Structure 1
Amino acid sequence: MAERRVFAGPAVRRVRREAGLTQAAMAEALDISPSYLNLIEHGQRPLSATVIVRLAERFGFDAAKLGAEELPGGLAGLRRRLADPRFADLGIGAEEVESWLQTAPATAAAFARLFDAAPEGGAEREGDAPEVTAVRRAIEKWRNHFPDLDARAEELADELRLAGGDLYGTISERLRTRHQLGIRILPADVMPDRLRWLDWHARQLMLNELLRPASRTFQAAATLAQVEAKSEIDALVAGAEFAESAAARLFERHLIHYFAAALMMPYSRFLRACDATGYDLLLLQRRFGAGYEQVAHRLTTLQRVGARGLPFFMLRIDRAGQGSKRYSGASQSPLVDGDARCPLWGVHEAFARPGEVVADLAELEDGSRWFTLSRLVAAPGATGSGMPARFAICVGVDAKVAAPLAAARGLDLMRAPATPIGLGCRRCTRAGCVQRSRPPLGRPLRFREGERGVSAFDFAGD
């Protein structure tokens, strides 16, 4: 809480009204003056850590619901939505946006939902099913960090280390002795469309032979999560209060995989290794016996209070630029939103440079800079045409805090030349882009007789 100022006037007002108290009565219960409480409720004073603790102790209030976390993407997400070209003529300033979120977070959240669901709006217009969007919001609310799962996984990892041997072997032995579950590796033609199959009746976990050693360990750890972290996972799913059962199941799967990764890469040991190696993903991959994608995802979860890692985002795209995984973590980066990707961004270069980690310093139209690392990975199995399934895995962090990365050493991240990119052609207003495939929203096309510019579309400026 000490890292940021928390304005939560409407939330505190709701607590007071639900308790049926006057400002004077609630101020007395919180050991503060009525005038101070009045300033808090009107968004003119932030909540101190002491008041937050008293709210939790005396009114049973969940501190995780405070402030901008109720809005997907928080303040940065709201700014990103209002930066849409359709609102360009309104001249909405940063202070006005912040004031809106502080004083009326519920209406800001309502606007975000309408924006995301509207044509040419957010993620849902680009193909995300409603249950996928609901799960993304739940993950964003937690910033993809689940303390209870991390603590339980770390405890179990220490216990397994004491048992000796490699992690896959100790997990296998624990499944066999404690849960009467054996593991069988089956030929690919026996399991052509499955990587893992847990047969409770036969008490067997069957794994596809195509899985690499790191993936076998991950799938065994996921099975252990289902039986040994069930209470923690069930509580998180119930707390999300999904309207659709499909969303609940999808969130449950995310949490199971989260626990598996946390078991392979225990929080404290992994964070120390990140600091020591400069977040060298290839080195971390070897040190923890994990896959590159597993390490990349784990980087987005390092948000433990008092022991935070860098605020990474992670994105997985296919050759067409479609995102099949995207986690903003604590970065609140707009680069993970939607399915439109700027072709100038270095993430696409990974498909042309297999085996390499492609570093890119990119600059958005608002001047923000992001340092990204991308690498091609192959998924087990093949596509319908027999081609291997390949994805580009990208992790990125705000250039302002990227100096500790080994890949960024020697670079002046705020002054070095950066790749000018946008958030997809429809949301980008950079003029004269030779790569442009569509005109931007809200900008009328312009035609000049006898002229042909380098871009396929010429459009009016502000």
Structure 2
Amino acid sequence: MAEAADRKLYLGPKLRVLRRELGINQTQMAEELGVSPSYLNHLERNQRPLTAQMLLRLANTYDIDIRDFVAGGGEGAATQLREILSDPLVRDIGIARDEILEVAENYPGVTEAVARLYRALNDLRRMPGQMTEGEGGTLPQPLDWLRETISQRGNHFAEIDAGAEAIAQELADEPALLAADLRARLKEKHGIGVQIAPEAVLDGALRHYDMHRRRLMLNERMPASGRLFALAYQLCGQELHALIATSVARAAPPDEDSRRLASIALTNYAAAALIMPYDRFRSAAEAGRYDMPLLSTRFGVSVEQLAHRLTSLNRTGARGVPFFMVKIDRAGILSKRFDGEAWPFARLGGTCPRWNAHGSFATPGTVLPQLIETVEGTRFVTLAIALPGTGSAIAIGCETKHGARLVHADGLDLERDEPVTVGPTCHLCERRGCPDRALPPVTRALDLHGYERRAAPYPFRRV
């Protein structure tokens, strides 16, 4: 609050978005905040700065986190908008960076609308003539819609967390005992038996619920962490079904595939929240300084399950480190992504080959820390760990201001070490002289000459 009081805060667009999310008009909000409608109108139009007193009123009236509300959200949106405006369809216009930043900061609704239109355009490019038309136009792909929905919620679903935590209080903490309790609860309360089945019987499936015989069958190859998660998933599907259905309905999925995908994703979320109850898990993470192997062992979960949960510690008043998380293969293709508070790479492409998530494959199972810096100058600490025998790696990361809270960053000097410079993704990166570049930037023309060869591939013009 001291920082907020020392500088003028013009947060009109954020205030306007908050009011619209609450579903109230200016007169109603002004009455609830104890100010005149004309004063609120001035605040929303950035004609008056938000005072510290007004911030406190907002926090107390609408239960918002002042730090999140004051934090600049324009940079991430500006990065996304720059990526979109780098498309060959419009890049010749040459929109200046300060114009893009102004739109992102002052007109978040316009930025979101442009992003949705661009996703629809890419859908049409991938599947011309095959898109389903609805009354509102082209429907988004289910995975794109789900990713956007989860990102908007900060990967945190408070009601589901609370429901899972209430169940967890009636069960054991130690993973082996918890698994036994879950089996017993499924049988006693829901009449569901659990059977470890040969791989041939399940025909490649990891788990299968036989609704007729009320029997959950688990593949014999599943590790203990997988079996524990499967038990928790089945129980949450039974006991939190109504809560999950309400959350899915509130998200307003555009089609049946999106609804089913969201239901599965939120049941997975509930299972993780049951195995790693919010308060106990966050306290353990803070006490152990986010030691990934320690947390994985203590809660009996896999590295991937752990990383998912670490991105969801966004409860008001009890937040953890705001991690982003990706699952990546050797070719650099992302199969999962959770943006967290900040995301250093392109939202519409892959990652930078200079990032050592790729290098973690040389030492599977070992946490590999790295200090990176983006084109904009923002620094991040990232932790990558390759999953043995899978060809995939999990990586999490956060801004360096949180680095002192991470035991895996102790070997890094966050102030003096030279960071590895990374770009958003090769076809959008304008960093010159990069020897690891795989593609030229679509925002610049190539500058090729037969009489000269540079160390960096694909030389391009500055303007």
With the length of structure 1 as denominator, give the TM-score of the two structures.
0.84
Cα distance in 2 for residues equivalent to 1:254 and 1:328? 16
**Contact 1:296–1:393 (Cα < 8 Å) also in 2:** yes
Query: Within the alignment, does 1:148 sit opposite 2:155 as a pair?
Result: no
Number of residue pairs matched?
434
Whichever residue aligns with residue 50 of structure 1, its letter is: R
| 2:284 maps to 1:251 | no
Comparing 359-368 with 208-217, greater Cα deviation is found at 359-368
Q: Is the Cα contact below 8 Å between 1:237 and 1:248 reproduced in 2?
A: yes
Shift of residue 26, structure 1, vs aligned partner: 6.3
2:107 counterpart (104, 108, 117)? 104
Q: How far off is 1:423 after superposition?
A: 1.8
Q: Does 1:376 align with 2:386?
A: yes
Give the whole-Å Cα distance in 1 for the aligned partners of 2:241 and 2:427: 44
Match of 2:133 in 1: none
1:346 counterpart residue number? 356
Q: Whole-Å Cα distance in 1 between the matches of residues 64 and 23 of structure 2?
A: 17
- Of residues 137, 156, 175, the one that matches 2:148 is 137
| 1:164–1:170 Cα contact (<8 Å) kept | no
Q: Is the 8 A contact 2:346 2:425 kept in 1?
A: no
**1:443 CA drift (Å):** 0.6
Q: How much does 1:30 deviate? A: 4.3
2:404 corresponds in structure 1 to 403
Q: Does the CA-based 8 Å contact 1:369-1:414 persist in structure 2?
A: no
> In structure 2, do the counterparts of structure 1 residues 11 and 389 end up closer, same or farther at CA, with 3 Å as the change threshold?
closer
Matches within 5 A, 1:42-441: 42-43=45-46, 44-46=48-50, 48-51=55-58, 54=61, 75-84=74-83, 85=86, 86=91, 89-93=94-98, 100-101=103-104, 103-118=106-121, 130-161=141-172, 166-329=177-340, 331-335=341-345, 337-378=347-388, 389-441=390-442
**Aligned 8 A contact 2:165 2:274 in 1:** yes
Query: How many angstroms apart in 1 are the aligned matches of 2:342 and 2:255?
Result: 26
CA change 1:454–1:270 in 2 (3 A) is: same
Alpha carbons 2:327, 2:334 under 8 Å: kept: yes
- Please give the per-residue CA displacement for 1:163-183, whole angstroms capped at 9, x wherever unaligned: 997110000000000000000
Q: Gaps spanning 5+ residues in structure 2: where? A: 129-138
**CA offsets 1:308-345 (integer angstroms, 9 cap, x no match):** 1011011001222111111113x231437234222111
Structure 1 residue 255, shift from structure 2 partner: 0.7
Q: Which range moved further: 425-434 or 209-218?
A: 425-434
Deviation at 1:409, TM superposition (A): 1.6
Structure 1 Cα separation of the partners of residues 308 and 75 of structure 2: 21
Distance of aligned partners of 1:3 and 1:146 in 2 relative to their CA distance in 1, 3 Å threshold: farther
Q: Which moved more, 1:358-367 or 1:80-89?
A: 80-89
Q: Structure 1 15/360 Cα, relative in aligned 2: closer, same or farther at 3 Å?
A: closer
Is the Cα contact below 8 Å between 2:446 and 2:458 reproduced in 1? Answer: yes
8 Å Cα contact 2:371-2:412 kept in structure 1: no
CA contact (8 A) 1:78 1:97 kept: no
- CA-to-aligned-CA distance 1:335-383 (integer Å, 9 cap, x gap): 37234222111000122221221111111111111111111115xxxxx
TM-score of the pair, normalised by structure 2: 0.84
Identify unmatched segments of 5+ residues in structure 1: 57-61, 379-387
Q: 3-state DSSP class of the match of 1:402?
A: helix
Q: d(CA) in 1 for partners of 2:421 and 2:32? A: 53
Find the aligned partners of 2:177 and 2:23 in 1 and give their Cα distance. 56
Equivalent position of 2:136 in the other structure: none
Structure 1 distance, partners of 2:168, 2:113, is 42
Q: Deviations over 1:255-300 (max 9, x none)?
A: 1111111111111111111111111100101111111111111110
Read off the aligned partner of 2:287 and give its amino acid letter.
Answer: A
RMSD: 3.4
Displacement of 1:38 after TM fit?
2.1
Cross-structure match for 1:384: none
CA shift in 2, pair 1:289/1:142, >3 Å: same
Q: Specify the code of the residue in structure 1 equivalent to 2:454.
A: G
Letter in 2 for 1:83: R
Amino acid at match of 2:266: L
Secondary structure in 2 aligned to 1:324?
strand
Per-residue Cα deviation, 1:36-94 (whole angstroms, up to 9, x for no partner): 2222332344463534665x6xxxxx979xx999xxx953431112333548943332x
Moved more, 419-428 or 281-290: 419-428
Alpha-carbon separation, structure 2, partners of 1:327 and 1:424: 17
**Aligned residue type for 2:55:** S
Q: Give the residue type in structure 2 aligned to 1:400.
A: K
What percent identity do the matched residue pairs reach?
36
201-210 vs 425-434, which moves further: 425-434
Cα contact 1:364–1:420 (8 A) shared by 2: yes
Give the partner amino acid of 1:353: T
Aligned to 1:459: 460
How many angstroms apart in 2 are the aligned matches of 1:3 and 1:180?
A: 57
SS at match of 2:301: coil
Question: 1:199, CA displacement in angstroms?
Answer: 1.2
Give the residue type in structure 1 aligned to 2:114: F
Question: Residue type matched to 2:41 in 1?
Answer: N
Q: 1:137 deviation in Å?
A: 1.1
Letter in 1 for 2:426: C
